[in-house]
Amino acid sequence: MADTSVATAPLLHFLDQGDPTARPLVILHGLFGTLDNWQTLARRWADEAGLRVISVDLRNHGRSFHSPAHSYALMAQDVLALFDHLALDPTRLTLMGHSMGGKVSMQLALTHPARLAQLIVVDIAPRFSNMEHQDDIVAGLQAVDLTTIQNRQQAEAALAQHIPQLGVRQFLLKNLYRREDNSFAWRINLPVLTANLALVGEKIGAAQPFHKPTLFIRGGKSDYITADDKLHGIPALFPNSQVATVPDAGHWVHAEKPDEIFGLVQNFVGQL
């Protein structure tokens, strides 16, 4: 039975690509991201792997609705409502999430295991994550004065005062857009995400583990999944799981090593 508690929330914005009768792959992005971050790979999985690929903007991100509430329980319910809207067959469905989206995916799998066939989690563990590493990003975003900037170059210059990495600035600037009156705005709900940053680091737990096939993908240069996570934290909640490491990749493993991610996901989904 569908959970009726999602009825008050608007439907998430999504992009549905590929053969509508093919096996569905649902993709959830990370913090400050959008479905666009996965668009190149999503097209490849639809065109080359023959999947139905549904990319999603989570609440307070992209073109989805803004809400003062931001938690993993609520985000999982939002995604379940989308499953209902699209009438996705749970026996054929793979759910995949990166970072914050990975924790949403784990939350949904653990609380509603009957709603999906298998799970892919990209470079995040279920344990608590200290969010202090996001302080510079938040400071950079808040340094952009949307009331005075005239172009994207000025926005990037403000970000650069706090964020030296060009790739991270380019990733964040995907959230910047012009309104109809030509002023700039963020697609992300920056005040709410900033206020709820500690919740984004929350541990994911459950009384019962998720017994279905699960693939964790980690970047070899990333510390988001540790040796202890592989030995203890992940198997405790996901006993039917494997951890694949992509060498020479950091946290944004899908952007740095797209061919490797394409193959890992294609092979895993192909086992259904």
* pLDDT over threshold 50, residue 1: no
Contact indicator for 99, 106 with CB cutoff of 8 Å: no
Q: Which CATH number fits domain 14-128+205-270: 3.40.1170.60, 3.10.20.30, 3.40.50.1820, 2.160.10.10?
A: 3.40.50.1820
- Kind and range of the H or E run holding 122: strand 118-122
- Catalytic site residue 251? yes
Query: 61-103: per-residue pLDDT in tens?
Result: 999 999 999 999 999 999 999 999 999 999 999 999 999 999 9
Rounded CA-CA distance 121/105 in Å is: 7
pLDDT per residue as tens digits for the range 182-227: 999 999 999 999 999 999 999 999 999 999 999 999 999 999 999 9
How many angstroms separate the CA atoms of 135 and 155, rounded? 18
Which of 13, 29, 61, 251 is flagged as catalytic? 251
CA distance 13 to 188: 13
For residue 17, pLDDT over 80 is answered with: yes
Beta strands at 184-186 and 94-98: parallel, antiparallel or unpaired: unpaired
Whole-model pTM? 0.95
Distance between CA atoms of 32 and 141, rounded to whole angstroms? Answer: 10
* pLDDT of 3 above 60: no
pLDDT in tens, 157-190: 999 999 999 999 999 999 999 999 999 999 999 9
Are 246 and 148 spatial neighbours (Cβ–Cβ below 8 Å)?
no
Mark out the alpha helices in 56-129 (DSSP H runs): 72-86, 100-111
**pLDDT of the residue at 141:** 97
- At 124-154, the pLDDT tens digits run 999 999 898 899 999 999 999 999 999 999 9
User: Active-site residue among 55, 64, 99, 241?
Assistant: 99
Could you state, in order of their start, the residue ranges of all structural domains in the chain? Answer: 14-128+205-270, 132-195
Contact 155, 172 (CB under 8 A): no
Q: Is 99 among the catalytic positions?
A: yes
